[in-house]
Structure formats: C-alpha cells, structure tokens
Amino acid sequence: MSEWLFIGGALALVLWFSQRYGWWRKTVPWERPRVLMYHLITPPVPGGSYRGMRVAPAAFERQLQWLARRGFHFATVSELLESRPPPRTVVLTFDDGYADNFTHALPLLQKYRAKATLYLVADREEGSDWSAKKKAHHSTGELAREPKLSDAQVQEMLASGVFELGAHTLTHANLARLDAAAKQHEIAGSKQWLETRFGVPVRSFAYPFGIWDETDRDIVRATGFSTAVTTDAGIDALPLADPLALRRIKVSGKETLLAFRLRLRTGRRGLWK
C-alpha cells in the first residue's frame, strides 16, 4: 500500500514539475533574440495581488548575473532592426513607468553593462491606476499607490545610455474600447508627447495590456513606429516577420532562476502557457 502511495506521489511530482517548467520542449534556436517583459523591480508586498508583476531586486540581479556570465548580448528593441543581432541576444523591456525602474533597475543594469527599453505612459500623475482599465475589479489601489517615474528620473535614465524610450499611449488606454479618433490620439499623441518632452526619437510602441487589432497596428505604422511589442508569449525568428507585433517572455516575480532559464529556452512555460 505504502509503495503505491510513494509511486503515486513521485508521479504527481514529476507531472507538476513538467507542467510548471516545460523542460521537455525543444530549445528555440539561440539565433532568435529573447525579448523579456518586466514591470516592477520591487520586493513583494505582503498580501499583495500583483506578485507576478513584482520582480525583487535580488532576483533581478541574479537574472542579470546569469545572463552576463552566459555571454548574452544586451540590445534595445530598436537595435533588433538596425543590424542582425548576434546569437544569444536578449532585450529587456520595462512597461508603464514605475519609479523603481530608476531606483532599483538602473543601477543593476549599469553594473552588468546591460541595456533596456522603457515603455513609458505619458500620464504618470500620482495615483494613476493603469491596471483598472482592463477590468474594474483589478483596481485594488495597490498599483495606484506605487510611485511613478518623474520626468527628471526618465531624463537621467536616458542620459545614462542604458535605456531606449518607447511609447505606451498617453493614459495606458485599453485600445479595444476606443473609436478610431481616440486610438489615433492615444497612439500618435504619445509619440509626439514623449519626443517633445524628452528630446529623443521614440521609435517603439507597446500595446497596453497586450490588447491590439489590425486598426491599432495600422495607426502604429502610420505614426512612424518601426517596432511594437505585445504580451503574446514567444520568441520571434529573424528577420522579424512582423516588427509591429513582437512577442515577449514575461518574467514573473513568482518564479525561480531555474524557471527563468527554462523560459528563456522556449519562450513558454508549462503545458498551456
């Protein structure tokens, strides 16, 4: 009886591990650049509901250290189009514009000589709750209380040479809820606003919530963006088939370094994701 319990338990463990880490999947060729998606670089909040979005600074450093030791090449999103990136290229992206990207991420990126792309929401008034525009019940106020990047901090991040600046609409709009004129305002308006405010070219765009359709992509193209990132999980081949709908690998604060490494191999996790 106890043997069967043991075998059953071992089998359950193997299945759980396989589901969670997807170790059996084939490695996507390392010639394809990995585009990683981050939001907050902060320790978890006790009882908080955004554990996945918060990557602790220590965990982020372990990831950078591992990438650097393995000889990964760091690029910005726009650099993917400039020349063919070398094998083992990794593109770090930060969405929204939380202040910890300056206080926690920037020093670590500098320490490991890494680069990144910041998709900044233009409207960063204190109390902005970007998560609420998808589903009202997401609005717990937790993210609204997170400090946002100031213009001065963004300027320093750009002056450091570490960050490329990308757009993420004016207000973190849910594009699916807008008519064509409002979409145009949010997409084209954000490029113009950021370029005027920070005096740098803004060539890349991130669809808020990863929600987009053909109309949105047409506006993104007509606005003059050369690349755009989604939240679809995966690793795109070179040359990029659709630079205006790039897939990314979401880095979750709930995962270990082992999970990070496995996810980098395949772009996906587990059986279904």
Contact residues toward Zn ion (CB under 5 A) are 95-96, 208
Residue whose C-alpha is closest to residue 34's, from 63, 70, 61, 72: 72
Residue nearest to Zn ion (CB): 95
- Tokens 């989604």 label which residue? 230
Residue with smaller CB distance to Zn ion, 32 or 124: 124
Task: Write down the least CB distance from residue 164 to Zn ion, Å.
Answer: 17
- Which is closer to Zn ion, CB of 96 or CB of 146? 96
235 and 32 in contact (C-beta within 8 Å)?
Answer: yes
CB of 189 to Zn ion, least distance (A): 16
Q: Cβ of residue 209: shortest distance to Zn ion, in angstroms?
A: 7
To the nearest whole angstrom, how small is the minimum distance from the Cβ of residue 263 to Zn ion? Answer: 20
Give the contacts of 266 (CB within 8 A, at least 6 positions apart). Answer: 22, 25, 26, 27, 28, 235
For residue 208, the minimal CB distance to Zn ion (Å) is 5
CB of 210 to Zn ion, least distance (A): 8
Please state the three-class secondary structure of 192-261 as a single string. Answer: HHHHHHHCCCCCEEECHHHCCCHHHHHHHHHHCCCEEEEEEECCCCCCCCCCCCEEEEECCCCCCHHHHH
Nearer to Zn ion, 79 or 95 (CB): 95
Q: Which residue number, 96 or 255, has a Cβ lying nearer to Zn ion?
A: 96
Of 165, 193, 182, 172, whose CA–CA distance to 216 is shortest? Answer: 182
Which CB atom, from 74 or from 98, has the smaller least distance to Zn ion?
98
Question: Which residue's structure tokens are 């901090």?
Answer: 153
Strand pairing partners for 204? 227
Q: Which is nearer to Zn ion, 21 or 225 (CB)?
A: 225
